[in-house]
Amino acid sequence: MLLVLGLVLFSIASDRFWIRGRVESSDGKPIPSARVIVTIYGDRPYVPVPHSRRRNAVCIDTFVVVADEGGNFRLNRFKSRGPFINKYVRFSVFAEGWMGEVRTERIRSNMLGPPDFFKIVLKREIMERRGYNRLSVDGEDRTRSIAFASLQRLHQSANVCDASAMPVLTEVVHRMAKISESEEERRLTLAYCRRLVESGADSLVCDESLFSGGNDVD
């Protein structure tokens, strides 16, 4: 009886996040070495009463996984910060030469399995340039490529919970610097670079050397 009660209490206060997935191109080919930032959220009631309508979203944790040669990735972690009413996962995916992708999915409790499976499809970088009004324009300092804007989303979705994702976001900044052509892109790249430095990315130097490759990640 005590064992059963203990298991029930453990299942309420803890959870298992068991996730598997695959990163691939639109034609179904795997994208090896893609970096996947996995951020897990839960809706916690303001008062510890099941099914309470008064809830607030809490970041449970962030993990970084890397796709293997077949484009497959997996995560299997136990966390003890419950109870949570609903749980969500946000995938922020980066692979050099591909558009950045951010998506949020609902996940279920799976203490005993099977794992949740997600397929993430990336597109090749699109270097078409657009202004902020989304119209296609050429040769203007306030334009961004579609690829650059997709990488911005990886930074815009990051928050204080994503400290473990700092190395990946540093790689994203270097890629943004590499494909920057307009003054607007350079300004934004330096702004995201400084934000990372303020968060502890001491290896970054946020000046013009960033655009010349003198600040590259090994």
105: CATH? 2.60.40.1120
For residue 173, the enclosing domain spans 126-218
Domain count, the chain: 2
Three-class DSSP category at 35 = strand
The whole-model pTM stands at 0.83
Same domain, 3 and 109: yes
- Residues 6 or more apart whose CB falls under 8 angstroms from that of 181 comprise 129, 145
pLDDT at 54: 56
Same domain, 120 and 131: no
Distances from the Cα of 83 to the Cα of 62, 73, 133, 194, 218, angstroms: 18, 27, 43, 36, 41
| Among 65, 92, 124, residue at a domain's last position | 124
CB of 188 closer than 8 Å to CB of 151: no
For 162-185, the pLDDT digits (tens) are: 778 999 999 999 999 999 999 999
Return the closest-CA partner of residue 63 out of 45, 47, 50, 79: 79
